[in-house]
């Protein structure tokens, strides 16, 4: 295995449990800002994946992984906005109540 792949796998192995632990310990009051930040990061991922997929001469594996990254990041963005919208609706006052 090349050094670049080893480093990428090392970062992935460290990032997954760290990310899960970070999200698990977030206060409920911070979930909406955290979701907005996650949407911004996913948008950056979509742009990067589109650049990888659209570049000429990239390996076939990179194109396939780029397409998968675009799909998953797009799903994450849409779901994040839907969840954020639903959470914000919980704080709106109903028209019949004072």
DSSP state of 26: S
- Are the beta carbons of 80 and 42 closer than 8 angstroms? yes
pLDDT at 76: 84
The pTM of the whole model exceeds 0.75:
no
> What are the extents of the domains in the chain?
28-91
pLDDT > 80? residue 28: no
Residue 74 CB contacts under 8 Å (≥ 6 apart), including other chains: 42, 46
pLDDT > 70? residue 74: yes
Residue 95 CB contacts under 8 Å (≥ 6 apart), including other chains: none
pLDDT at 80: 80
pLDDT at 1: 55
| pLDDT, greater one: 63 or 39 | 63
Q: What tokens appear for 68 in the block?
A: 């998968």
CA pair distance 92, 50, nearest whole angstrom = 37
Confidence of residue 98 (pLDDT cuts 50, 70, 90): low
pLDDT > 70? residue 22: yes
pLDDT digits 0-9 by tens, 35-52: 777 777 888 888 888 888
DSSP state of 56: T
Average pLDDT over residues 57-64: 84
């Amino acid at each position: 295995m090349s050094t670049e792949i080893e480093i990428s796998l090392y970062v992935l192995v460290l990032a997954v449990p760290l990310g899960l632990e970070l999200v698990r310990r977030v206060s409920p009051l911070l979930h909406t800002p955290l979701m907005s930040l996650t949407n911004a990061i996913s948008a950056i991922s979509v742009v990067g994946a589109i650049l990888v997929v659209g570049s000429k001469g990239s390996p076939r594996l990179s194109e396939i992984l780029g397409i998968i990254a675009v799909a998953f990041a797009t799903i994450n963005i849409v779901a994040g906005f839907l969840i954020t919208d639903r959470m914000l609706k919980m704080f709106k006052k109903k028209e019949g109540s004072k």
